Structure 1
Amino acid sequence: MIIRFLRENVYAAGLLLLLRLYVGWKWLDAGYHKLKDGFDASGFLKNAVANPVVDRGTNELIYPTYTGFIEQFAQPNVGLFNWLIPIGETLVGLGLILGGLTAIAAFFGVFMNFMFVFAGSVSTNPWMILLGAIVAISGSNAGRFGLDYYLLPALRRLRGKRNSQQGLAA
């Protein structure tokens, strides 16, 4: 019932507009400052490996595969992450603010927030996960008052055209 309301109701779309503007601004602001001031994830990554999230009772790693990913892939490729994180944050922010590919932008925002939480950084990440998940679950209704109003029908027509051309070729 709530999901149907979020996905179909015009009043929900208005509330989602306010929500995505807030969440989008937070992402855009974070990405912009990283792009403007420079960003180096190496300290964060070193700390995530040196102080991984552990179970206080058993002292075992809670996310051993994620810690391994950081140690074996992210740290050796820190230059890639120094570029991906600020660009990703900026694109998520723009997508949410403009309402373009809104559900996809929200999904990637939630994804990035989870990665920060897995590394042991709580901060505002749980709050942003909750708000981003609401926008992502709302699907196209979250972008009803944005670019998605025009973009999604155009993409559907393009996909339909492509499918019909493939049917003729077969």
Structure 2
Amino acid sequence: MFNQFLRENKISAAILTVLRLYLGYEWLTAGYHKLSSGGFEAAGFLKGAIANPVKGPDGSIVYATYVGFLKHFALPNAHLFNTIIPLGEFLVGLGLILGCLTTAAAFFALVMNFSYLMAGTVSSNPLDILLGVIILAAGYNAGRIGLDRLVIPFIRKMISKENPGRTKISA
């Protein structure tokens, strides 16, 4: 019942718009500050996350696989992450604010939030994850008051032209 309210109700769409604008502003400004500061450098954060991983009560590393990813892929390719992180944050924020490809933007916001959490940064990530999950669960309704109202029908039309035997495309 709540899921139906979240995904179909016009009042819910208005509430989701407020949540979406707040979360989008947070992501947009975080990305903008990194992009406009003259050069974002991820290597220091990555080295800190590798040197001080999240540990459980018994002292074992909780996210060993993620620490391995940071150590063996992210740190050697820090130059790539120096671009991907600020640009990703900015584009996620823009998508959420404009209500354009909202569910995709919410999904990638969640990926980044969980990445920051697994690296040991709490900050506002739990609240951002909660809001992101609500927006993602709402699907199309989260972007109904936004560009998704125009973009999603266009995408559905393009997909149905490519797959003429397919009649129903779910949101």
2:145 is paired with a residue of what secondary structure?
coil
State, as a whole percentage, how many aligned pairs show the same letter.
Answer: 55
Give the drift of 1:21. 0.3
Q: 1:162, 1:81 → 2: CA distance? A: 35
- Is residue 118 of structure 2 the alignment partner of residue 118 of structure 1? yes
Compute the RMSD of aligned alpha carbons.
Answer: 0.9
Give the drift of 1:62. 0.4
What is the match of residue 11 of structure 1? 11
Q: 1:30, 1:2 → 2: CA distance? A: 32
Q: TM-score, normalised by structure 2?
A: 0.94
More helix by share: 1
What is the match of residue 52 of structure 1? 53
Give the drift of 1:4. 1.1
Q: Runs in 1 of length 4+ with deviation above 2 angstroms? A: none
**Residue identity opposite 2:125 in structure 1:** N
Q: 1:111, 1:130 → 2: CA distance? A: 13
Q: 2:56, 2:157 → 1: CA distance? A: 51
Q: Deviations over 1:118-143 (max 9, x none)?
A: 00000001110001111111000000
Q: TM-score, normalised by structure 1?
A: 0.95
Alignment of 1:36-115 (within 5 A): 36-37=36-37, 38-56=39-57, 58-115=58-115
1:164 is paired with a residue of what secondary structure?
coil
Q: Deviations over 1:18-40 (max 9, x none)?
A: 11000000000000000000210
What is the match of residue 158 of structure 2? 158
Give the drift of 1:164. 2.3
Q: Structure 2 stretches of 5 or more lacking a match? A: 166-171
**Residue identity opposite 2:92 in structure 1:** V
Alignment size in residue pairs: 164
